[in-house]
Amino acid sequence: MVYAILFICLIIGVPVAFSIVAALMYFMAVGEFPYHLRIVATQMFGAIRSYPLLAIPLFILAGELMNASGITSRIIAFTNVFVGQLRAGLAMVNIWASVIFAGLSGSAVADTSAIGRVFIPEMEKRGYPRDFSAAITAASSVIGPIIPPSIPVIIYALIVTGVSVPGMFLGGVIPGILLAIFLSGYVMVFAGDYQKDDPQESVGSKKKILFQGIIPLLMPVFVVGSILFGVVTPTEAASFAVAYALIVGLFLLREIKWTDLPGIFAKSMRDTAVIMIVMSAVGAANWLMTYNRIPNMITDFALEFMTAKWMFLVSSMVLFLFAGLFLEGIAAMLVLVPILHPIAVSMGVDPTHFGILVVFNLMIGLITPPMGLCLFVADSVANVGLGALVRQIIPLFFVELIVLIIITFFPAAVIGLPRLFGF
């Protein structure tokens, strides 16, 4: 009956967090636990009562401030200098702008919205079909939460498993770049005939663009670098990111006015609240499963029937791909990782490797129907219809699936950099 309540709530459109709470409250009401319903509220609060979690609202705020600072056009111009003159140059600029944007917001949805509003109309002017432009924008935005700093990585490392945050940050660099390279290869082969001639920039103009591009590039360098060298904790680095974004927006680029700040702070609080509610609800659900020894039973079952590491990895990736079709990435992570992470460790899978696989896998879910958030955002910008967008996203999905397979069976692509830095 508990699962029936959960699935019915999800089917009729109740948000994930409230669906979980409804199922929990029913279970507690008919169960034999002392304190009954009160324990649900206690566990929900306990799940988010953590100092490291302050990094989440701070990084969200830093991303909003940088988005409002007018840096999107500077990132696009900066990327265009390097890859804009290649075959399918504008599509490649779209992809590699997402790589740079990943170091600012760490959010695929923010990437899709900010870059899509600029790129989709511009790509259409240069000869690209509007639905293809929207699809490549959504597909490349998946890079955002993989390359550091990344909110899903912070949640995975600090709250779910206790894996090293700097190690996870470094582990996401090569997979993110690999994804950009494979997407670039796809557009060069299959979209090279779309683009019309692009006017050349003068040498003086290129120097100016490169100089202006340094400002947004310095933020991820300072933030990630300070964490890697142990100067600050992730929470302290997030507060530094907010200060940097404020200074850039208010005083250097002067794109943010003091009157804009209340709206920026309000949007950041709303986005934070969504994540925290999901985390608190799933935290209570995880406590209940642990109390009933469900993770132990699943672990025993997996260890009995999965005799090889590759069998577990393949099964886990298929499970996460399926979960990503219906659940938001963070919710799926919070539900499944506490069960699967101990199994991965007991089977000899590197925790950093498994963590990046989970994040990468669930981010692919952002571009898969029926619940792909990046699809909805891209369609809201392009207004081409989900049917046309899905047809264009299918080959891009398989490109991303190839990269997932590569990093699954070649762990050095993930753990090479962390090992080099001693994590």
Angle between helices 55-67 and 234-247 (to 10 degrees): 20
In this prediction, residue 278 carries a pLDDT of 74
Residue 138 to residue 123: CA distance in whole angstroms? 14
Chain position carrying tokens 């909110």: 151
Residue among 57, 70, 59, 60 at smallest CA distance from 249: 70
Mean pLDDT of the chain: 80
More confident residue, 195 or 248: 248
Q: How many CA atoms lie within 13 A of 19 on its CB side?
A: 16
* H helix intervals, 229-293: 234-247, 261-291
On the question of pLDDT at 246 being above 60, the answer is: yes
- Are residues 6 and 71 part of one domain? no
On the question of pLDDT at 201 being above 60, the answer is: no
* Count of domains for the chain: 2
Q: The domain containing residue 286 runs over which residues?
A: 37-420
- Are residues 16 and 79 part of one domain? no
In this prediction, residue 404 carries a pLDDT of 94
For residue 180, name the pLDDT band (cuts at 50, 70, 90).
Answer: very high
- Are residues 150 and 28 part of one domain? no
Residue 178 to residue 5: CA distance in whole angstroms? 41
In this prediction, residue 406 carries a pLDDT of 94
- Are residues 10 and 112 part of one domain? no
- Are residues 116 and 257 part of one domain? yes
- Are residues 85 and 99 part of one domain? yes
* pLDDT tens digits, 26-52: 776 766 555 556 677 777 777 777 777
* Cα distance from N-terminal residue to C-terminal residue, the chain: 45
In this prediction, residue 185 carries a pLDDT of 92
- Are residues 2 and 97 part of one domain? no
For residue 295, name the pLDDT band (cuts at 50, 70, 90).
Answer: low
Residue among 345, 422, 361 at smallest CA distance from 146: 361
Residue 256 to residue 65: CA distance in whole angstroms? 8
- Are residues 54 and 6 part of one domain? no
Query: What's the rounded mean pLDDT across residues 264-277?
Result: 83
Residue 360 to residue 363: CA distance in whole angstroms? 5
Query: What's the rounded mean pLDDT across residues 8-15?
Result: 73
Count of CB atoms situated within 10 Å of the CB of 9: 18
- Are residues 317 and 233 part of one domain? yes
Query: What's the rounded mean pLDDT across residues 410-416?
Result: 92
For residue 355, name the pLDDT band (cuts at 50, 70, 90).
Answer: very high
- Are residues 125 and 21 part of one domain? no
- Are residues 368 and 292 part of one domain? yes
* pLDDT tens digits, 108-163: 777 787 778 778 888 888 788 899 989 999 999 888 889 887 888 888 887 677 78
* pLDDT tens digits, 52-85: 778 778 888 887 887 787 776 777 777 777 776 7
- Are residues 4 and 46 part of one domain? no
Whether the Cβ atoms of residue 173 and residue 202 lie closer than 8 Å to each other: no
